[in-house]
Structure 1
Amino acid sequence: MAAGLEFARDGEVATLTFARPEKKNAISHDMWAAIPDIVADVEGDPGLKVLVLTGAGPDFSAGADISEFGSLRSTADGAAAYDRVVEGAVTALAGMTKPTVAKIRGNCIGGGCQISVACDFRFADATARFGITPAKLGIVYDFRSTRQLVSLIGPAHARYFLLSGQLVDAARAREIGLLNDVFTDLDAGVSDFAATLCSRSQTSVRGMNRIIGKILDGQSESDSEVEDIRSAAIHGEDYAEGVAAFLDRRPPKFTAS
């Protein structure tokens, strides 16, 4: 595990914490580089159903560790190599079929906001504030992250973030669709939602998440993979249990992992 990251599991829920509170959880190059392997481990672990990302202390993350830019992004080649590592982390998160939840307090800015947008769900408390600030650094945001932001909040709001670099509070972020919800008790709210995800058919959750990802990547029609996903679900044990539970008027007990 890279310095600055902490990984824990509680039953079926894993938590990845940005743990550099003295630097507002700024994300180092090594932290970015470690994320794809962590994602792969969670995806491959049959005992885990949800990944929560959060920050230690009062902040989610104030973004990439700019103190490294002088050494790692001082040339065009260095900047390109650094960007590939960031894009690898974002791509890995966005490609997960197991649900990802960003639990956000305080600063969620720049690369921190980029990470949260790559997650499936974003929840915050009233202390959260959001911004994406490439225009303050002379950087052009990468295509995948820009597409994710536009898909999430629309082009007008995406332009506001990317072109102005201005920050918005949690209430405004909820209003424009950046947040799914704002909780007074963030820990309890996220815990309850994660438990809900764990209680659902994982065949449905992961199949639908894969299809949504394909749509966000620009696919406009079904393909053989989509049809295979749907066919496997119909012939699977979760479908039989879901129908039986509905007819029996009882909660389903899904077993597919």
Structure 2
Amino acid sequence: MATLTFARPEKKNAISHDMWAAIPDVVAEVEGDPGLKVLVLTGAGPDFSAGADISEFGSLRSTADGAAAYDQVVEGAVTALAGMTKPTVAKIRGNCIGGGCQISVACDFRFADTTARFGITPAKLGIVYDFRSTRQLVSLIGPAHARYFLLSGQLIDAARAREIGLLNDVFTDLDAGVSDFAATLCSRSQTSVRGMNRIIGKILDGQSESDSEVEGIRSAAIHGEDYAEGVAAFLDRRPPKFTAS
């Protein structure tokens, strides 16, 4: 398991331009390392992230061209996370607002403790949220809740976030809960996990029917060592020992 930590606790882990720009490289490193099966994203201290570092906006977003360039870096980070085949887990305490919430929505799973609070606040800044992140939010919580988030900029607590589907679960012991879930993911067939995650991503991107890539993923799984081991373990009534990386 790999962990990416937003480490600016003195600024509630506000995400700087350089931090946004570094995320695709982290994603590529995790995807390319056969020893890593899960990426957990979290924040140092009591917060996940209070969002993009607005103190940079005066210099980096003061013109239309500057704003477009900044947004391209943010979209690159979101696209990289959403495109991972290895599972991503957001482990959330405290503030998960604006760009922080945007990052969490781009992950495959979101878990929090009771201190967490959530909001996406472009309407407080005169910004229109980008298309990819809006689609991800609508796919996750539906258009009514997405409108509430984006148009009002209001914050909600962890219990409400769980109710609307923003969170997979709320844990009293967040570290233990996420660790146990990550261990479960690591114990499954990685051929299955990554293949199905890729197919889900294609569906979320608007694909409505199977294609040659999907059929190739499924065919490779059937002919792979994990399938043989999974069937044998089931018939022998024992836990499977998957070896494909």
Q: TM-score, normalised by structure 2?
A: 1.00
> How big is the shift at 1:213?
0.1
- Tell me the alpha carbon deviations over residues 84-118 of structure 1, each in whole angstroms, 9 at most, x when there is no partner: 00000000000000000000000000000000000
Task: Say yes or no: does 1:213 pair with 2:213.
Answer: no
- What is the alpha-carbon distance in structure 2 between the residues aligned to residue 240 and residue 46 of structure 1? 21
> How big is the shift at 1:252?
0.1
Where 2:142 maps in the other structure, the secondary structure is: helix
- What is the alpha-carbon distance in structure 2 between the residues aligned to residue 252 and residue 229 of structure 1? 21
Task: Say yes or no: does 1:167 pair with 2:155.
Answer: yes
> How big is the shift at 1:216?
0.1
> How big is the shift at 1:194?
0.2
> How big is the shift at 1:235?
0.1
> How big is the shift at 1:254?
0.1
RMSD: 0.1
Where 2:15 maps in the other structure, the secondary structure is: coil
> How big is the shift at 1:210?
0.1
Unaligned runs of 5+ residues in structure 1 are: 1-12
- Tell me the alpha carbon deviations over residues 16-47 of structure 1, each in whole angstroms, 9 at most, x when there is no partner: 00000000000000000000000000000000
Where 2:89 maps in the other structure, the secondary structure is: strand
Q: TM-score, normalised by structure 1?
A: 0.95
- What is the alpha-carbon distance in structure 1 between the residues aligned to residue 164 and residue 21 of structure 2? 31
- What is the alpha-carbon distance in structure 2 between the residues aligned to residue 142 and residue 70 of structure 1? 20
Q: How many residues align?
A: 245
- What is the alpha-carbon distance in structure 2 between the residues aligned to residue 147 and residue 242 of structure 1? 36
> How big is the shift at 1:133?
0.1
Unaligned runs of 5+ residues in structure 2 are: none
- What is the alpha-carbon distance in structure 1 between the residues aligned to residue 54 and residue 143 of structure 2? 27
Where 1:15 maps in the other structure, the secondary structure is: strand
Where 2:46 maps in the other structure, the secondary structure is: coil
Where 1:64 maps in the other structure, the secondary structure is: coil
- What is the alpha-carbon distance in structure 2 between the residues aligned to residue 160 and residue 42 of structure 1? 34
- What is the alpha-carbon distance in structure 2 between the residues aligned to residue 93 and residue 73 of structure 1? 23
- What is the alpha-carbon distance in structure 2 between the residues aligned to residue 41 and residue 216 of structure 1? 24
Which runs of structure 2 are paired with 1:183-198 in the superposition (5 Å)? 183-198=171-186
- What is the alpha-carbon distance in structure 1 between the residues aligned to residue 109 and residue 26 of structure 2? 18
Out of 190, 195, 200, which is 1:202 matched to?
A: 190
> How big is the shift at 1:236?
0.1
Where 1:256 maps in the other structure, the secondary structure is: coil
Where 2:239 maps in the other structure, the secondary structure is: coil
Task: Say yes or no: does 1:105 pair with 2:93.
Answer: yes
> How big is the shift at 1:232?
0.1
> How big is the shift at 1:168?
0.2
Out of 178, 181, 184, which is 2:166 matched to?
A: 178
> How big is the shift at 1:249?
0.2
- Tell me the alpha carbon deviations over residues 191-245 of structure 1, each in whole angstroms, 9 at most, x when there is no partner: 0000000000000000000000000000000000000000000000000000000
- What is the alpha-carbon distance in structure 1 between the residues aligned to residue 4 and residue 45 of structure 2? 14
Residue 49 of structure 2: aligned partner = 61
Q: Percent identity?
A: 97
- What is the alpha-carbon distance in structure 2 between the residues aligned to residue 16 and residue 224 of structure 1? 33
Task: Say yes or no: does 1:229 pair with 2:229.
Answer: no
